[in-house]
Amino acid sequence: MVFKIIITHKALIDTVNGIEWYDKQAKGLGKRFYLGIQKAYKTIRKNPYFQIRYEGVRCLPLEKFPYMIHYIVEEKEKRIVVLGIISSYRDTKTWNKRTNW
């Protein structure tokens, strides 16, 4: 069963900010970050049932980047709502502020 992915505005901003930051670090790194996100989306579309971290929000770490995709599964609607793509280096207090999506 394949789920539809809905990307919130905050998650889109997280993506753009991550791409821009990685592009400043090295040429082409922002593109690799973006492709890593796309690969993770393919994974959760097929199987979204990764670990619940807090208040029904599931997280999937990106490969090769210290970021996690935070999302909820709306099972009846067969969709995944991506709430954010957050660096795992960020203070957990920052994550807690973002739980009010």
Instruction: Examine the pLDDT at 100 and tell me if it is beyond 60.
Output: no
Q: pTM value?
A: 0.88
Residues 61-95 as b or e (16 or more Cβ within 10 Å = b): ebeebebbbbbbbeeeeebbbbbbbbbeeeeeeeb
The total of other beta-carbon atoms located within 10 Å of residue 5's CB is 17
The total of other beta-carbon atoms located within 10 Å of residue 12's CB is 13
pLDDT for residue 91: 61
Asked if residue 61 lies in contact with residue 68, where contact means CB atoms within 8 angstroms, the answer is yes
Closest listed residue to residue 55, CA positions, set 89, 97, 23: 97
CB burial of residue 49 (10 Å; 0-12, 13-18, 19+) = exposed
Structural domain boundaries of the chain?
4-88
**Domain at 4-88: CATH code:** 3.30.2310.20
Q: Which segment, 42-46, 89-93, 96-100, is predicted with the most confidence on average? A: 42-46
pLDDT tens digits along 18-68? 999 999 999 999 999 999 999 999 999 999 999 898 888 999 999 999 999
